[in-house]
Amino acid sequence: MSGKSKYNITFDDRDLDEQEECEAVEVREGDNGGRQKWGRQIEFILSSLSYAVGLGNIWRFPYLCYRNGGGAFLIPYGIMLIVCGMPLMFFELCLGQFGREGPITVWKICPLFQGIGYAMFMISFYIGCYYNVVLSWAIYYIYSSFTHTLPWTSCGEEWRSEYCKEFNSRNCSLNGGIMNVTGECIFRNMTTEEEWDTLNTTTSLLKSPAHEYFHNHVLDITDGLHDMGGLQGNIVLALMVAWIIVYLVLIKGVETFGKAVYFTATFPYLILIVLLVRAATLPGYMNGINFYLTPQWDKLFKASVWGDAAIQIFFSLSPCWGGLITLASYNKFNNNCYRDAFVVSIGNCLTSFFAGFVIFGIIGFMAHELGLPVEKVAVQGKLFSVSNYISSQSSLRIAYPKGNLAKEFSINEPEL
C-alpha cells in the first residue's frame, strides 16, 4: 500500500517498518538510561580480557598441558573452547548487553532463574575476597624487594628453622650423590642400604630459604587448628592497600575502571615477556620447552584428559560467575558481542599457551641448577608453590635499580 501526502511526498509500508525498527532500538537504548557506557570499545575488550586472564592461566594450564600429553593437550583444549567456552561467553555477553542489568536483576526476563543470579553474586564475592589475599602477598613481596639483598635468598635468624639450608646441590646430584644437612655430598657406595634410605628421608626435610621465608615469616603458619596464631600486621596492611586500590579503580564505575585496564590488562604481559627473554638466556631453557611441547598422542584416548580440558576452559574463562554479564551491561545495545566473545576467548587461551613457555623455561633452568631431569622437577610440582617460584625468580638475577621487582606468584597445584 502506498499513498501521497499533501506535500506530494510518496511513502510506502517499508518506510514505516524502518521507522518503527529505529524507534524500537531507540526505546531499548533509552531503557535504564542512567547506566554508564564504556568510553571506548577497547576498554570493554581489555576489561573482559583482564577478567578472563588470571592466576589460573599461569598456575594450571602449563601443568595440565604437561600432565595430559604436552602439545597433544592443545587438541582437546581447543575443541572444548569452541564447543563450551565460546558459546557460554557469547551467551553471557548477549544477556548482559541486551538486558543492561547486573547478574541478579537481568534474570527478570525469567524470574524462575533469579536464583542463578544470586549464586553468581556469591561466587564472585567469595573469589574476590580470596584473590585479594593473594594480591596482598604480591604487594608485600614487592615492598620487601626494595632492598640491596632479597630477604628470601638466605636463612634469616628470625624465621629460619633447623631445616633451612642455602647450599646448592647441583654438582652433587649430577654425580649421583645426596647432600646431607651439613652440606656434605654422600654417595651410595659410602653408606649401607639402611643409612642411604635414612639419608634420603632426612634430605627430603630440607627447605629452601624462600620456602622458610614464605611459611614462617610472611604467613607465620602454625602447627594446626589448636594454635590459631595472630594477625600478620604486614599482610593486613598489604591487604588494606589491595582493597584501597580496588576502591579507587571502581570509585566512578566504568569511567575509572575503563581507564585503569589500560595498565592492568597490559602490564602482566610485559612482565611475562621480560621473564621469557631472561629465561631464554639461561642454561636448560630448551630442555623445559621440549618437555612442555613434546606430544604424547596416546593421552588423547583418556577421558580424564578431555575432562581436564573442559575444567580448564571453565576455570580460565570464568563464565557463570556474573562478571561477563556485568561488563557487557555497559555496552551499547547494538555492539558486536560476537566479535568480542571471539577476541576475548582466543586472547585468553593464547595467554595460557604463552605462559607455558615462561613456566617450563624456568622449570628447565631449575632442573639444570638442581642437576635433576626436567620430568622429576615437574612431577614434584615444585614450580607451583609460591616459595619455590619466588626462589626460581631470585635465581634469574634480573637487574633493577632497587631490587628485583619482577615477581610472579603461584600456589600449590590443586588436586583434580
pLDDT of residue 58: 81
Mean pLDDT of 60-73: 85
260 known ligand binder: no
**Ranges 104-108, 123-127, 152-156, 247-251: which has the least confidence:** 152-156
Mean pLDDT of 109-121: 91
Does the pLDDT of residue 260 top 70, yes or no? yes
C-alpha 341/C-alpha 335 separation (Å) is 11
Residue pair 365/394 in contact by the 8 Å Cβ criterion? no
Name the DSSP class of 404. Answer: -
**Using one digit for the tens of pLDDT, what is the confidence trace for 337-392?**
999 999 999 999 999 999 989 888 888 887 887 677 777 766 554 445 555 556 55
pLDDT of residue 407: 36
410 known ligand binder: no
**Ranges 1-5, 196-200, 401-405: which has the least confidence:** 401-405
> Which three cell numbers mark 252?
566512578
- Listed residue (134, 128, 135, 139) closest to 318, CA to CA: 128
The Cβ-side half-sphere exposure at 322, using a 13 Å CA radius, reads: 22
189 known ligand binder: no
387 known ligand binder: no
- pLDDT band (50, 70, 90) for residue 259: very high
C-alpha 141/C-alpha 408 separation (Å) is 10
**Using one digit for the tens of pLDDT, what is the confidence trace for 18-34?**
554 544 444 444 455 57
Q: Produce one character per residue of 86-106: b if its CB has 16 or more CB atoms within 10 Å, e if not.
A: bebbbbbbebbbbbbbbbbeb
Residue pair 404/398 in contact by the 8 Å Cβ criterion? yes
Mean pLDDT of 165-190: 60
315: Cα separation from own chain's centroid: 10
Does the pLDDT of residue 309 top 90, yes or no? yes
Does the pLDDT of residue 414 top 70, yes or no? no
C-alpha 409/C-alpha 365 separation (Å) is 17
Does the pLDDT of residue 196 top 70, yes or no? no
Q: How far is CA 365 from CA 66, 176, 236, 321, 368, in A?
A: 16, 19, 34, 37, 5
Share of residues in the chain with pLDDT > 70 (%): 72
316 known ligand binder: yes
- pLDDT band (50, 70, 90) for residue 209: confident
pLDDT of residue 165: 74
- pLDDT band (50, 70, 90) for residue 412: very low
Does the pLDDT of residue 308 top 80, yes or no? yes
pLDDT of residue 307: 93
For all residues of the chain together, what is the average pLDDT? 78
pLDDT of residue 383: 45
